[in-house]
Amino acid sequence: MTKDAFRRLALSFPEAHEAPHMERTSFRVGKRIFATMTQDGKEAMIAVKPPALAEALIDEHPDMFFSYGGWTTKLGCLGVWPAKANVKMVEQLMREAWKRIAPKRALREQE
């Protein structure tokens, strides 16, 4: 998955927009973040709940996912190497992350 494909996917959800976040770009609904990506697109993050799921995905797919330490174990911030990622898996994880923060009107749009 290229950085452009990751960006297109993130921005394909209703009310999603892109905004700077430290040294990264973030993908948000309102002020809440559901994914981030480094400027070069080599690393990304998707918010996964519960955090134990993020840890399980890292264990099962260490070639695609990595840990951000406490950000992963406490908050479920799943590190992703987009170039090595399974597109369908990333799409499913990102859709779930977006759904957790999207307003009801946006969820209705997605149905």
**At 38, which amino acid appears?**
T
**Does residue 75 belong to any structural domain of this protein?**
yes
- Encode 64-111 in three state secondary structure: CEEECCHHHHHHCEEEECHHHCCHHHHHHHHHHHHHHHCCHHHHHHHC
- Mapped onto helix, strand or coil, the DSSP state of residue 29 is strand
Task: Give the whole-number percent of the chain exceeding pLDDT 90.
Answer: 89
Q: Is 111 within the bounds of a domain? A: no
Q: Please say if the pLDDT value at position 108 is more than 90.
A: no
Give the pLDDT confidence of 76-86 residue by residue, as tens digits: 999 999 999 99
Domain extent for 21: 3-106
Closest by CA position to 89, among listed 108, 61, 111, 109: 61
25-42 pLDDT, tens digit per residue, is: 999 999 999 999 999 999
Residue 48 lies in a domain: yes
Is the residue at 44 inside a domain? yes
Question: Among candidates 34, 71, 42, which has minimal Cα distance to 54?
Answer: 71
Q: Is 82 inside a domain boundary?
A: yes
Has residue 86 been placed in a domain? yes
**Total tally of structural domains belonging to the chain:** 1
Domain assignment present for 80: yes
Domain assignment present for residue 87? The answer is yes
**CATH assignment of the domain containing 42:** 3.90.1150.30
